[in-house]
Chains A and B, each alone.
Chain A
Amino acid sequence: MSDPADPEAAPLSATHPDQPRDFVAPGADRDFAGERLTVDPAGARALLDARLIAAHAAGDTARLVTLYAEAGDSSEAAGDAAAAAFYRTHAYVFALQSGDSRAEELHRWLLREGREE
């Protein structure tokens, strides 16, 4: 979800204070402890899916926002705009539900893409 006009802007999913400590930003090659990551893309995706399922089961909306935003960022990085919109829609919904300030930025992105009002 980086602003294309601002190459320094970090992905939304990597900047929020609700960020879980085990979070791995899309495209990152190091984790928070600075360890080099060796997870392959398919493995990362499976890990994300598992986290999403766990967050749904726990009703942890803050984490759902983070993880869906991450999925949106990954999809965007992979050039899949439709998937990015899908995941960011979910992130937006759970941000609305939980009063998460990321709702506004997600809304702006969806609006810019012609997918929201």
Chain B
Amino acid sequence: MTVTDSDLAAVSAPVEQARGLPNACYTDPAHFAREADAVFFASWAGLAFAADAPEPGDVKPVRFLGQPLLLARDREGVLRVFLNVCRHRGMILVEEAARLPRAIRCPYHSWCYELDGRLRTTPHVGGPGTNRHAAIDRAQLGLVEVRSHVWMGVVWVNLDGKAPEFETYAADLRARWAAFDRPLAFAPDGAFELEVACNWKLAVENYCESYHLPWVHPGLNSYSRLEDHYNIEAPGTHSGQGTRAYRPMLAEDGRRFPVIAGLDAQWEEGAEYVALYPNVLLGVHKDHAFAILLCPQGPERTVERIAIGYFDTAVLGEDWAPMRARNAAMWKEVFEEDIFVVEGMQKGRHAGGFDGGRFSPVMDSPTHCFHAWVAERLRQPA
């Protein structure tokens, strides 16, 4: 079941000759663990939404590929990610999301940390009633911070600390979407989750290409035909698809969501859907955007967390609630239409004779771009 360099070389071949990633990449627990290190921890992976800890004092534990992490927003509103473990004996610090008045207290021996990670006190560490000791240097024993960055409402993390700066990693996409690089207002009623019985990569693959749209989402044919779409490929960081025929939703009274003022003509009728590798799927339109976090739960199970945001905070008002609900329902229906596909491909990956499959050089190149990136990550020396 081991995935060899030869297998990976076949994936990295030009799209016309390339095979897809082999079955073990979708089914093998050992490979899943290898992928956690090589693909997720070594790059900028989507961990959570900034809205998961919206107010000062908010903490939220997040288990990410086995790693116990903690989102914490300090008194000044700065959001950080830490290892969710005490520097003393490795006890899990926070078990449930909470809004803390001040310090994080370890429930074991009560070492206390400020929300910015500083170790505040170490009770009885020098004996009963003596809370200091020369061997315990608090300046060196704050919570272990994980590199993090917030963009488009998503909290990205780089666990091995070696990836280039997020601004560098995402520079091409940020430049492409400069018109949308502005605050997003996320409504709680625009968030939902889907649990799917598939490897996380299948959700990326399906999202990247427009090839499946007329077959899996036939409702799109009426206004956004296959030929209205185009591929987006940025080897090494992202790929996806765009449409030149985005049609904003109309409210029953004829209103539309407010749009970003002064957009280029491209965005008047266009929208784009991009996977920023490895696990964040983003969509932008002139009136709203969304992010899908793919949270791998195992080689064959993924939780998709979806959040829809608007560029005008007025849309969060009660008068827009029915329209927001319709928009969320529309996207949920689209994403649910994809479930049988990704779960079907997962089942197919148990066919021992399947060689990873072939790509349409015309229609599947964004998916191949993603496969080639994964293969390249796996070929990196540990």
Instruction: Find out whether the CB atom of B129 lies under 8 angstroms from the CB atom of A82.
Output: yes
Which B residues between 129 and 146 are near A, CB-CB below 8 angstroms?
129-132, 138
A15 part of interface (Cβ distance < 8 Å): no
Contact of B129 among A86, A98, A99 (CB under 8 A): A86
* With contact pairs A89-B123, A89-B124, A92-B121 given, residues A98 and B132 touching in the complex (Cβ less than 8 Å): no
The interface residues of chain A lying within 8 Å CB-to-CB of B126 are 115
A98 and B102 alpha carbons, distance in the complex (Å): 6
From A93, A96, A97, A117, B132 is in contact (CB under 8 Å) with A117
Chosen A-B contacts, 6 in total, with CB atoms closer than 8 Å, are A88-B129, A90-B123, A93-B123, A96-B121, A115-B126, A115-B131
**In contact, B102 and A115 (Cβ under 8 angstroms):** no
Contacts of A92 in B (CB 8 A): 121, 123, 131
Q: Which 7 A-B pairs have the closest CB atoms?
A: A99-B101, A85-B129, A99-B102, A96-B103, A86-B129, A97-B105, A96-B112
When C-beta atoms are compared, the residue in chain A nearest to B101 turns out to be A99
The dominant DSSP class at the A interface is: helix
Residue of A nearest to B126 (CB): A115
Complex contact A115–B103 (CB within 8 A): no
Q: Which residue of B lies closest to A90 (CB)?
A: B123
Out of A93, A98, A103, A115, name the residue touching B110 (CB < 8 Å).
A93
- The minimal Cβ–Cβ distance linking B75 to chain A, given in whole angstroms, is 10
Contacts of A24 in B (CB 8 A): none
Q: Does A14 count as interface, using CB distance less than 8 angstroms?
A: no
Smallest CB–CB gap between A75 and chain B, Å?
10
Separation of A64 and B337 alpha carbons in the complex (Å) = 54
Cβ of B31 under 8 Å from chain A: no
Chain B residues whose C-beta falls within 8 Å of the C-beta of A97 in the assembled complex: 100-103, 105, 112
Q: Mark B210-222, 1 if CB is under 8 A from A, else 0.
A: 0000000000000
- Chain B interface secondary structure, helix, strand, loop or mixed? loop
A116 within 8 A of B: yes
Whether A86 pairs with B128 at a CB distance below 8 angstroms is yes
B120's nearest neighbour on chain A, judged by CB, is A96
- A48, CB-defined interface residue at 8 Å: no
Chain A interface bracket (under 10, 10 to 19, 20 to 34, 35 or more): 20 to 34
* Chain B 325-346 per-residue mask, 1 if CB under 8 angstroms from chain A, else 0: 0000000000000000000000
Chain A residues within CB distance 8 Å of chain B: 82-86, 88-90, 92-94, 96-100, 103, 110, 114-117
Residue of B nearest to A117 (CB): B132
* Interface pair A98/B131, CB less than 8 Å apart: no
Give Cα distance in the complex from A52 to B132, angstroms.
25
Check if A116 sits within 8 Å of B131, measured CB to CB. Answer: yes
A96-B102, A96-B120 given; 15 more Cβ-contact pairs under 8 Å: A83-B129, A85-B130, A90-B123, A92-B123, A96-B121, A97-B100, A97-B103, A97-B105, A97-B112, A98-B101, A99-B100, A100-B101, A103-B102, A115-B129, A116-B131
What residue in chain B is nearest A84 (Cβ atoms)?
B129
Q: Which residues of B contact A114 (CB under 8 A)?
A: 130
A12–B105 CA distance with the chains assembled, in angstroms: 23
User: A85 — which chain B residues lie within 8 A by C-beta?
Assistant: 128-130
Q: Which of A83, A96, A100, A116 contacts B105 (CB 8 A)?
A: A96
Q: How far is the CB of A87 from chain B (nearest CB, A)?
A: 8
Complex CA gap A94/B124 in Å reads 14
Q: Are B121 and A93 in contact (CB under 8 A)?
A: yes
Hey, which chain B residues are within 8 Å of A89, CB to CB? 123-124, 129, 131
